[in-house]
Structure 1
């Protein structure tokens, strides 16, 4: 297979052998797993074989537990008595139970395994639903969803405009929100805001609510704290009917350590799903790490991906923690300053192979699916097709950009903004690879950090956001919030992501109810009413975000990186201008002075967007421009930006 990745990036030539090894390991894994004529589509069917299956005249339950000496199924359907429900040992450590009649739907269940002569109780690994019991551990629940999907998933015909959302914190009330309430109350907001894709967090079952869904216990189960499987299916189907695609924030980078709830020590060994010893522990996250070189683990994880696409009709995935997967040290403390850092003994080749298998499978299940990698290291080829020597994702997240903005707001004054550094951060990316740009995601809102609006406004957000109060702090916050978003939106990627509520400058931070805060829901909710209150300035940021997103709908400039042309960048006057597609963007980041700028422009411009417009909480429009004899002459007010459409003079 030719390594076309070298055509994209000739600097990879010294690492050609490493790239060839990438392709060879991928081909070798496929041959080992699939044989001569098999396909990943047929291979990844574990969810159709393991767990609970209703057949014509009987039901079956199968579990993989190679270290178990005996196995039983127990639950409230049999009084938690294993007599008569012993499972038979099958090939490869699989245990099987065949029972006449219909599945006892609704029954709480566990698999009882005899390990080293003693019984241990586990939630079945392929369970679709789990609920807490009186001991605060999880019980599996047998379910058979009956929801019938009515709508065809929309195809992505423009850049992905992603609304990152968490079901539980999506209510304004002091409670955990539900799938049904999110469908009723939040989906219309997302549609109205102009986003075309929803990225749902914390869907895979996780015992600790405060983990934000990133310590998964049951990989085939939805979070029961939000509602039922049928309700999640209806939510996704309704979104599809509204023209919205839905991505799952999938966590295959690690798993919760809990014994009994999840996969850890499932059959009494640490090596069933995970690496043994230190390699199986993520010390920073206190979680378990999968063994991506083990065929049974690959089968489990690939089946999991197909399950979410097939059963729940998700339109793709944002893969969490990819950097942790790629490197034996999980990227911790590593500065990826040269290419040798990507191709060394630190690289987990088995994890790279798994990610390639995952992307190929996803394309086979749904050719229109979208995959996004959360990789801060910049691994070459992450978002290039496998056929070129890449790993196969559609996009990578531009993770350095939020860090740039937070560092600027925390450590520097406004007049210390380095426009050349900003331009570099927003425009430099791997050749041929697409990025999802964002100014902030959920990461910047968690306890220990602040949202951009909180960094800008701080305490003034509580008492000076009303439209009748003059506040220099708030005026600055509004202006910079808009500029940061517009420059990031237009430059940072071929797609864009916003976290729920940040579009209107949601105040404060995210913190889940826990003993450390008295189980308080104050910071685990979204105060939508702030953006609807005509007396508060949050409404201006919401209107701005809507119209900014509308620019992409109208002009589809994001996925035209080849048209990007820098027109002006100068730190001394804090002016930045660039053209992308039909649009010319002009920024004045100067905190104090209006600035003048003249650009040669053979085409006549039309002003279509002004951040200083009073409908966005500005003071104007105050900026002005004139066009004569091929020159666009502008006077830009401090901390403002304008967007022009370039049209032919005639």
Structure 2
């Protein structure tokens, strides 16, 4: 019997024994959306705006910095502006009582290009951290240490082609890595890609470019899939303005531009990433064994926590807003969808999708993220990298 709430899924007779579970999944998606939007009092689009609240911003002639770190007992900004000393003038104040720390500083306190970190204290320990919402991280060529960098140029990039010059239609995708696309034995740049690779992609007849490894990552050999700084375009390839120039050029050439969005896991690194950020392993990720992906040597997000969904949904919106990407390929979602991470499972019949192994919170997050993306950009391209063949994933 066709269910009006399950669209084409109920047209498949092999799914009929599982329609109850499919309804449960649909109900869970709506439950999670209502939870995040206070039962519809705000929109999902409004909720997914954490990147404009957290992190460092220059607003109304002053610097404002906020960080969510509920287990922290003290946080200081340390950097070029403090000669890398811990000073009371740069101590954050505990804000709204929900784990939010903040500080306001005068305009002359910090400057474009300054390097900085957080000095964070928690019960029984301390550590240096990069802000979770930092928009730029750079690596020292000699020490190889990563720092956050204040990025506030005097003039903002002026977009010429915020959208592809012509409608793309059915995507014919050229998957590419900016740093590895060059013929020379070196790490390529955004501008080199624009000058040397983009004309070849156009000449071959592709209408969509998919960029790998855009989000910052400490280990280059990971191809960019061990992400540390989710809101920072990799500085290995150039500046934020140079990435925007590359996207602009792709749009001018009539190409859509999508990027790999890695929300299935995160790097374990604590000095560069968000693992054990405030001294706990469970701030952004599951605690215990469920929080570790042994096969990938990485951390697994807790998709049931509103604060984590705030982070991830805002990240999905951020790259559309800030860099005018036209969509995403969601990386490695089989690992998200199942408690067994898809490892050692052949998925030979439909019962494999309804045996209790599905992570309903992860499934709901993916559905809401896709909904959000198409609210922000109705013509967005979204691709799911799923090797399980889950029924209804794109329904």
The bucket for the TM-score relative to the shorter chain is: over 0.9
Hey, what's the Cα distance between the residues in 1 that align with 2:336 and 2:160?
Answer: 37
Does residue 1:143 correspond to 2:154, yes or no?
Answer: no
The 8 Å contact of residues 168 and 255 in structure 2, kept in 1 or not, is answered as no
Q: Which residue of 1 aligns with 2:50?
A: 46
Pairing 1:327–2:330 present: no
Q: Distance in 1 between the 2:8 and 2:145 partners?
A: 48
Establish whether residue 196 from structure 1 lines up as the match of residue 207 from structure 2: yes
1:184 Cα offset (Å): 0.8
Question: Alignment RMSD, CA only?
Answer: 1.3
- For residues 12 and 43 of structure 2, what CA distance do their matches in structure 1 show? 31
Matches of 2:228 and 2:192, distance apart in 1: 25
1:101 aligns with 2:107: yes
Counterpart in the other structure of 1:113:
120
Q: Which SS does the other structure have where 1:177 is aligned?
A: coil
Q: Does 144-153 or 256-265 show the bigger shift?
A: 144-153
For structure 2, the residue ranges without an aligned partner over 5 or more in a row are: none
Equivalence for 2:139: 132
Q: Which residue of 1 aligns with 2:71?
A: 67
Distance apart, 1:158 and its partner CA = 2.7
Distance 1:112 1:213 in 2: 26
- What is residue 19 of structure 1 aligned with on the other side? 22
Distance 2:5 2:133 in 1: 39
Counterpart residue number, 1:78: 82
Cα gap change, 1:108/1:80 in structure 2, threshold over 3 Å: closer, same or farther?
Answer: same
Residue 44 of structure 1: CA displacement? 0.6
Is the partner of 1:158 in helix, strand or coil?
A: coil
Residues in 2 aligned to 1:30 and 1:290: alpha-carbon distance in whole angstroms: 18
Asked if the contact 2:9–2:392 (Cα under 8 Å) also holds between the matched residues in 1, the reply is no
Deviation at residue 6 of structure 1 after TM alignment: 3.2
Whole-angstrom distance in 1 between the partners of 2:157 and 2:263: 27
* Pairwise CA distance, 1:340: 1.3
Work out whether 1:282 is the aligned partner of 2:317: no
TM-score (normalised: structure 1): 0.58
Q: Is residue 2:182 matched to residue 1:174?
A: no
2:45 pairs with 1:37: no
Task: Tell me, in whole angstroms, the C-alpha distance in 2 between the residues paired with 1:157 and 1:276.
Answer: 43
Residues 154-194 of structure 1: CA deviation (Å, up to 9, x unaligned): 26443210000101111111111100100111111111110
Q: Deviations over 1:267-310 (max 9, x none)?
A: 00000000011101111111100001111000000000100000
- Conserved? CA contact 2:126–2:279, under 8 Å: no
How far apart, CA to CA, are the structure 1 residues paired with 2:68 and 2:393? 32
Q: In the TM superposition, what are the counterparts of 1:219-618 in structure 2 within 5 Å?
A: 219-384=230-395
Q: Distance in 1 between matches of 2:168 and 2:251?
A: 14
Unaligned runs of 5+ in 1: 385-650
Aligned mates of 1:219, 1:97 — CA distance in 2: 22
Superposed CA deviations along residues 77-123 of structure 1, whole A, max 9, x for unmatched, are 12112311110101210100111225521111111111125431101
Find the residue that maps to 2:246 and give its secondary structure: helix
SS in 1 for 2:65: strand
| Greater Rg by CA | 1
Quote how far apart the aligned CAs of 1:317 are. 0.1
Of structures 1 and 2, the one with the larger relative CO (CA 8 A, separation 6+) is: 2
CA distance in 2, matches of 1:152, 1:350: 33
How big is the shift at 1:37? 2.3
Partner of 2:118, secondary structure, is strand
Cα distance 1:117–1:324, how it changes in 2: closer, same or farther (>3 A)?
closer
Shift of 1:357: 0.8
Aligned-pair CA distance for 1:235? 0.2
In structure 2, what is the equivalent of residue 588 of structure 1? none
Residue 90 (str. 1) matches residue 95 (str. 2): yes
Secondary structure (helix, strand or coil) at the match of 2:127 reads strand
| 2:169 aligned residue (158, 163, 176) | 158
- The structure-2 alpha-carbon separation of the partners of 1:141 and 1:152, relative to structure 1 and needing over 3 Å to count, comes to closer
| TM-score, scaled to structure 2 | 0.95
Alignment coverage as a number of residue pairs: 384
